[in-house]
Structure 1
Amino acid sequence: MIPNPANVQQRALRINLDAKRYGTFAEIGAGQEVARCFFRAGGASGTVAKTMSAYDMAVSDAIYGPTERYVSRQRLCAMLDHEFNLLLERLDRTRGDRTAFFAFANTVATSSYKTRNDGHGWLGLRFQAEPRQAPSEVILHVRLLDKEAERQQEVLGIVGVNLIHACFYSAPDAARIVRELLEGLTWEHVEVDLIRFAGPVFAGVDNRLMALQLVQCGHTEAAMFRADGEAVQWGELLHKKPALVLRGSFRPVTLATLDLLERAQTAFAADCRSGGADPVTLLEMTLRHLTTDDTIDHADYLERVDMLCALGRPVLISNFRRLHRLASYLARYTNQPLGLALGASKLREIFDESFYNETEGGLLGGLGHLFRNRSRLYVYPSLDVATGAVTTADNFTGPPALRHLLAHLRENGCLRPLEPGRAELLRLRSHDVLARIRAGAPGWSDEVPPAIAERIRARRLLGCPG
């Protein structure tokens, strides 16, 4: 049973009794669940100018224009454009001086008897904070995790009411809006894996920080944005594409980091050559990489993100400590191969049985998830500076009990060795480079990519002196 339905009605009633708010609800694919919450709360005539659902594709195209995918960001934005502009055209002259108009829209695919896939959908609100003010907007993508379509519809109604209520009464505090999205719900019911704020009310909001907020709040296990800072949903970027992931703290990106990435990309692209889509490369930071003394410094996070964006790759923020959980998550969105680029020193953790104590099936279960879908590890050598020993994918030994498993993985191409461009790159340590940056020591810029050095200097990132 969905918790706290009374609280949902209270929030809907508060909006219904707010004489300033008036708008349209357009919902496709899961009934009119959000509008229904407002009608059930009472007093909806003071809030609802119109509700509609255009289920037939031809009817939907006639209203909002043709589209390739009906459950998509593009369709949602077309719905918001059409409904908000129509509302102003019809009502602004008669009541625009006292009314803050809004348009709510969603386009959703719930589970059905024809498919066992999770339900998912796009929701958005375009609204005026005050009468005749330029509109602001929040859009989000949700995964509906209940098995029954009826439960998914009920959850959708709650999320929609929460979104509208939070935008009306918690803006411009975007972080608070994120926290309030799933009030009355738990993670078993719904995941919010994308949110985007725009417009004058949210002029100071950095959507890259909101991606982090989604993960911190437990609304999703991973969120992503492009190099330009635009939030992107997994299916938009990864659908039927191979994906290569480089995980790290990136504090800072060094020449060794870039060498690892470039050599992994070359090897991965060669392995994926089959006339399919070009591989996507993702740069991943986990909450563990960002946390110091149980807190996350948002300024430090944004500095690291600035550096990663200079590399022109999408950035992934996740709560996956274990790589096999990341691999399982990515497998929801693509059936193509997955590559994980890493240093050889990380292999000891991957093949440590104690690391899988909480994993169903233990180490073998975890590795089964990690290496499915033709996935591979692209392993860059690691140097022990004290001894001079170099560990590679070929000479890594691991626990004696796993020697046959390691041999099997090598023989089947699951552990791909990478060669460094220059042997001296193996001596670079990000914490040493960071210390030299902060001290203003000469030569640190020779240890990071030129674009990164330029950005660090120009924006005084990572404590770089002016």
Structure 2
Amino acid sequence: MSLIQQKLTPKQKALAINLDSNIYGTFAEIGAGQETVRHFFRAGGASKTIAKAMSAYDKDFSDAIYGKEAHNRYVTQHRLRKMLRYEVSLIEERLSRDDNPGRRFFSYANTVTTINFDKTLKGHGWVGVRFQRDEDEGYSEVVLHVKFKENNTTLQQETLGNLGVNLIYGAFFYNDNPRRLISSLYDDIALDDLEIDMIDFMGPAFAYVDNRLMSLQLVKNGMTDAVIFTPGGKNMLPADLLYRKNIFAVRGSFRPVTKVNIDMFESGLKMFMEDADCTEKETEVLFEITISNLKGDGDIDERDFLDRVDVLANLGYTVIISNFSEYYRLINYFAGYTGLKIGIGMGVNNLLMVFDENYYKNLSGGILEAFGKFFRNDMTVYLYPYKDPETHEILTSNNLRVNENLKQLYKFFKHNNRIKDIETYQRQYAEIYSREILRMISENESGWEVQVPDGVADLIKDRGMFGYKNEVELKEFT
């Protein structure tokens, strides 16, 4: 009979680290007391682990140690990494390796702001650890951004302390299993108490870690609602990317990206920028994939996930992965970061789903509540036409059919230009269907190559994406 592994408490984790005489480092905590190092002091045996504990809370004193920050912003990733590296360099400078054989050095740091007096700002911060797996190995880092959900400063401080212990323990004991490390961050912490909306692994301990997959774990495990990464695969803090920006997004399965997707994006974005009277620099463009879309009928296929985002990255697009099955939740999320214009490019079929009351049974206000959140901040739908494969009818906002009891509501939004047809679409793309392309790829039929953007077909073939098999694989398969 297999035994279920029992989760350790923060005290037990701190003690386990304290009892390992080869783990030795410093703690630098700014903004919420010294909540993490407190666990190590109380656990016992801390003299073998703690080189130094400090809280350079005063900005002038902190600047004297770590240097000044641009725009006087101290709760930033840049500040955190500067703290981590400075503290490790001090250990290396002041302790001789010859006198400390076998020791694995580390530095833990956080820079946070907790809930304000008026409770209008819940608080957030950066937390990280820089560590060695072996005394002869270079340093690795795990850095994450947190948003507090509790309404009490003391509770937030306690949560931060538990998180810090979990992070340090995970770095030393779970570095060979980053997924387990991520899930262990919530040991003794409720999902309702804390959100982790960005995480980054780097260094020799994580040489083969794809940070996009780690971001996916955050959404999959319910630790955050959405994650964003650049074409280069870099995880981004949503607030840094979306704050006070005009936002234009296109949702899809992108399995694979087709010329229809790109035509919808380019035509819709052009209309959006004209309506918003904004420039590309003032606008953030996102290609969104939902978790429900990734899961399909089963669990998430990580290879399939990477195939999709690699193609989008190759085309130069920023990707957002979310758990927002309903569009109104996506708009509500964007509105939390910006008060500027929001635009959504979508096809007729998706708009019909938006006007389906069955999706809003969980809302006390039903579809009216959903639309109040959906059509906010001057949000506009840019509607791409759809050619019915059976009737060959071209469906637009003018002839799509919504339920009888919603017709007046639909007319209201259309009359007020909240739903606009994309009229400059490429009509030759009307019969491109992604499911048919996917079938052709998996069955090695030719002809699909001309239905995807330039360069995409070669990428799919070179990497064997979406079930594509080259001639050698076909011979082995048959």
TM-score range, shorter chain: over 0.9
Q: Which amino acid aligns with 1:59?
A: F
1:388 aligns with 2:427: no
Q: Which amino acid aligns with 1:338?
A: I
Tell me the SS of whatever aligns to 2:28.
strand
Change (3 A) 1:113 1:461: same
Mapping for residues 51-450 of structure 1, pairs under 5 Å: 51-67=53-69, 68=71, 69-93=73-97, 95-273=99-277, 278-450=282-454
Partners of 2:68 and 2:275 in 1: how far apart?
Answer: 37
Correspondence for 1:459: 463
- Quote the Cα distance in structure 2 between the aligned partners of 1:80 and 1:300: 36
In structure 2, do the counterparts of structure 1 residues 408 and 92 end up closer, same or farther at CA, with 3 Å as the change threshold? farther
Note closer, same or farther for the CA distance 1:125–1:186 as it changes in structure 2 (3 Å cut).
same
Normalization by structure 2: what TM-score?
0.93
| Cα deviations by residue, 1:295-333 (Å, 9 ceiling, x for unpaired) | 111111111111111121211111111111111122222
The 1:92/1:453 distance shift into structure 2, 3 A limit, reads: farther
Quote how far apart the aligned CAs of 1:37 are: 1.6
CA–CA separation in structure 1 for the residues paired with 2:128 and 2:299? 31
Match of 1:13 in 2: 15
Provide closer, same or farther for how the CA distance between residues 312 and 92 of structure 1 changes in structure 2, counting only shifts above 3 A.
farther
CA distance in 2, matches of 1:24, 1:168: 15
Please state how far the C-alpha of 1:454 moved relative to its aligned partner: 2.5
CA distance in 2, matches of 1:109, 1:103: 20
Question: What do residues 226-264 of structure 1 show as CA deviations (whole Å, max 9, x unaligned)?
Answer: 110111111111111111111111111000111001111
Worse overlay, 443-452 or 108-117? 108-117
Structure 2: which 5+ residue stretches go unaligned?
A: 1-5, 471-478
**Cα distance, 1:149 vs. partner?**
1.1
AA at the equivalent of 1:349: M
Give the stretch that moved more between structures: 332-341 or 381-390.
332-341
Q: Deviations over 1:39-67 (max 9, x none)?
A: 12222111111111222222222222221
Query: Residue 26 of structure 2 is aligned with which of 24, 32, 38?
Result: 24
Judged with a 3 Å threshold, the aligned counterparts in structure 2 of structure 1 residues 114 and 55 are, in CA distance, closer, same or farther, namely: farther
Map Cα deviations across residues 179-209 of structure 1 (whole Å, 9 max, x no partner).
Answer: 1111112221001111111111111111111
Secondary structure at the counterpart of residue 30 of structure 1: coil
* Letter in structure 1 aligned against 2:55: S
Structure 1 residues 303 and 96: alpha-carbon distance in aligned structure 2, compared to 1, 3 A threshold: farther
Inter-CA distance 169–381: structure 2 relative to 1 (3 Å threshold): same
Runs of 4+ in 1 over 4 A off after TM superposition: 274-277
CA offsets per residue over residues 69-113 of structure 1, 9 Å max, x none? 211111111111211111111114454422100011111111111
Asked if 2 retains the 8 angstrom alpha-carbon contact of 1:35 and 1:51, the reply is: yes
Stretches of structure 1 lacking an aligned partner (at least 5 in a row): none
CA contact (8 A) 1:96 1:132 kept: no
Q: Which amino acid aligns with 1:138?
A: V
SS in 1 for 2:144: strand
Amino acid at match of 2:169: H
1:373 CA displacement: 1.4
- Judged with a 3 Å threshold, the aligned counterparts in structure 2 of structure 1 residues 383 and 391 are, in CA distance, closer, same or farther, namely same
Q: TM-score, normalised by structure 1?
A: 0.95
Q: Determine helix, strand or coil for the equivalent of 2:325.
A: coil
Partner amino acid, structure 1, of 2:76: S
Q: Give yes or no for contact 2:7–2:187 (8 Å, CA) kept in 1.
A: no
The residue type paired with residue 320 of structure 1 is F
- C-alpha displacement at 1:458, in angstroms? 2.0
Q: CA deviation at 1:129?
A: 0.6
Distance 1:393 1:269, change over 3 A: same
- 2:51 alignment partner in structure 1: 49
CA apart distance, 1:341: 1.3
* Residues paired across the two proteins, number: 463
Aligned equivalents of 1:393 and 1:365: distance in 2?
22
Cα distance in structure 2, aligned partners of 1:418 and 1:276:
19
Percent of counterpart pairs with the same letter? 41
> How far does residue 7 in structure 1 lie from its aligned partner after superposition?
1.1
